[in-house]
Structure 1
Amino acid sequence: MSSDAPLSHRVPDLGALELLLAVARHGSLGRAAKETGITQPAASSRIRSMERQLGVALVDRSPRGSRLTDAGALVTDWARRIVEAAEAFDAGAQALRDRRDSRLRVAASMTIAEYLLPGWLIALRQARPGTAVSLLAGNSSAVAARLLGGEADLGFVEGLAVPEGLDGVVVAHDRLTVVTAPGHRWARRRGPVAPAEVAATPLILRERGSGTRQVLDSALAAHGGLAEPLLELASTTAVKAAAVSGAGPAVLSELAVAEELASRRLVEIPVEGVRLTRDLRAVWPTGPRPTGPARDLLALTRT
């Protein structure tokens, strides 16, 4: 008749079984203790505890050494099979970890993919040279869809909040800036532009679903909302090129336009009374935090 107690309470732990196997090999409790990395008193205590747990004597101790009882010899045979099965289990689990750690699929919104991830991935390569990394760039909505669809292990987004179905953590901060070519009328003003004028002006914008567009829509909602875009483009690089060409004003991350502002190919236009800052987040499907290479990349973004 089987006991109602859980199996874990009726079967000795692996450490105790490995100690019993060592006693069988050496015929000495002292040498078995040394092999398993514990003191002899601790080994004696563990054997006694196992005997109480099983209800039978396992080892006869004498000045000449330690000898297995008949019951001890039988239990040792069972223990050997359990330990071998545990070793096979451990090897299989390690193989799963190795397969997981051999690749990392990252999805990131455009600004993060172009201006922040390259440095993080170089650092990850130094820490994990055996991990192959693939990067899928898209807007924040596309990043969320890839994560929820199981197509990416870790994502990075630029929107106002963590997308539904995901958990996340802030890894950086960013500011959006209104920019124009030097010849634009706004560049000749001495004072800032009012938010309502920005909202009413056709702008060169990223597409709907992008983090940049979400922040801008929210910031200007109280000022009449955005006018129909002059151009609606799917990449930061395309928006920037259109602005440099003089097509019209654009709104971009300060990370994306630092070089153009320094060289005066673009001019920053101050806007009064509106907040254009945003959090940049690492995100993953709701549940446990990332493990393996994804965990390491996440740690690198916080240093």
Structure 2
Amino acid sequence: MSRTSDTRGPDGTEESVPTGSLAHRVPDLGALELLLAVARLGSLGAAAREVGITQPAASSRIRSMERQLGVALVDRSPRGSRLTDAGALVTDWARRVVEAAEAFDAGAQALRHRRDSRLRVAASMTIAEYLLPGWLLALRAQRPDTAVSLLAGNSTAVAERLLADEADLGFVEGLTVPAGLDSVVVAHDQLIVVTAPGHAWARRRKPLPAEELASTPLVLREKGSGTRQVLDAALGGLARPLIELSSTTAVKASAVAGAGPAVLSELSVREELSTRRLVSVPVDRVGLRRDLRAVWRTGHRPAGPARDLLSLTRG
């Protein structure tokens, strides 16, 4: 709460002047800019037009500033507006404050330009390969001068990049959001079991029992990947992998080559399914739908290009 002290106002009456924080004791920049315009133009009306407000609003702002400071600043007459001696002194101070504010604004603009000139994105493999290219193409249309770098890895690696401040925005596929990160769901995905057409599962007439899927060695992504986390949680555990690979593309290529069944994002195998290089195998009573999330460090809500990219993913 601000304190007050008694003093004489512009009209000689006793007034209470705030003595608390600077925000209560110092006029705002708009009022100071108006006072400088009055000093330069010699007319309250002309000053009001220059700063884009009405003359009554300008008069009210000057009176409010006079009450705040406890001194008369402007003498008004039919011939125009003239600064009082106190007003001339306050104007000199105001000029320094406004110049400092202009320097502050220029510095802030430089910081925004530096932030907006680059965007560091970290994304898990499926999102990096199948969704981000379209989002980044749309971002480039909006921000052609922003240089984008993309770091692809599993969901655990994405979280580590963000927490180390090596990325401005991340995208993950896992079940949980690591501590220290905030998130929002931007899309949904379905994991499906796929095999080469020659595999016995491709000829099944009934859905595959969940127990058989869980007990069968599969071609899998590495631990820490969102796909592995979702599958492990849905089945309550997995057999030892037939092959463990670090990218969606590698897992898919192995399945196409007949190495064994795999579980992959539906986004990643559309072409292979349409050309029958892979066959989808229905599974009985297993939910493999997952949320795809944008993530960022807690307390660092996306701004600039990161905010624009986030908006595009949800459009």
Q: Does 1:208 align with 2:223?
A: yes
Deviates more, 1:60-69 or 1:118-127: 60-69
Q: Does 1:136 align with 2:136?
A: no
TM-score relative to the length of structure 2: 0.93
Q: Deviation of residue 161 (structure 1)?
A: 1.6
Instruction: Provide the C-alpha distance between the structure 2 equivalents of 1:76 and 1:287, rounded to a whole number of angstroms.
Output: 40
Tell me the equivalent position of 1:277.
289
Q: Does 1:56 align with 2:68?
A: no
Tell me the equivalent position of 2:29.
14
Q: What are the within-5 Å matches in structure 2 for residues 248-287 of structure 1?
A: 248-287=260-299
Q: What are the within-5 Å matches in structure 2 for residues 24-173 of structure 1?
A: 24-173=39-188
1:292 partner amino acid:
G
Deviates more, 1:204-213 or 1:156-165: 156-165
**Which of 247, 253, 258 in structure 2 is aligned with 1:241?**
253
Q: Give the match's secondary structure for 2:290.
A: strand
Q: Give the match's secondary structure for 1:53.
A: helix
1:75 partner amino acid:
V
Q: Deviation of residue 4 (structure 1)?
A: 4.4
Q: Give the match's secondary structure for 1:146.
A: helix
Structure 1: unaligned runs, 5 residues or longer? none
CA RMSD after TM alignment: 1.2
2:41 partner amino acid:
H
Tell me the equivalent position of 2:10.
none
Length, aligned pairs only: 300
Instruction: Provide the C-alpha distance between the structure 2 equivalents of 1:92 and 1:227, rounded to a whole number of angstroms.
Output: 58
Q: Give the match's secondary structure for 2:20.
A: coil
Tell me the equivalent position of 1:232.
244
TM-score relative to the length of structure 1: 0.97
Give CA deviations for 1:248-272 in whole Å, capped at 9, x if unaligned. 1011000000000000000000000
Structure 2: unaligned runs, 5 residues or longer? 6-17
Q: Deviation of residue 289 (structure 1)?
A: 1.7
Q: Share of identical aligned residues, percent? A: 81
Q: Deviation of residue 43 (structure 1)?
A: 0.8
**Which of 157, 179, 185 in structure 1 is aligned with 2:194?**
179
Q: Deviation of residue 288 (structure 1)?
A: 3.9
Instruction: Provide the C-alpha distance between the structure 1 equivalents of 2:302 and 2:162, rounded to a whole number of angstroms.
Output: 12
Instruction: Provide the C-alpha distance between the structure 2 equivalents of 1:187 and 1:47, rounded to a whole number of angstroms.
Output: 82
Instruction: Provide the C-alpha distance between the structure 2 equivalents of 1:75 and 1:189, rounded to a whole number of angstroms.
Output: 88
Q: Give the match's secondary structure for 1:251.
A: strand
Q: Deviation of residue 62 (structure 1)?
A: 1.0
Stretches (4+) displaced over 3 A:
none
Instruction: Provide the C-alpha distance between the structure 2 equivalents of 1:39 and 1:202, rounded to a whole number of angstroms.
Output: 77
Could you tell me whether the CA contact under 8 Å between 2:19 and 2:25 is conserved in 1? Answer: no
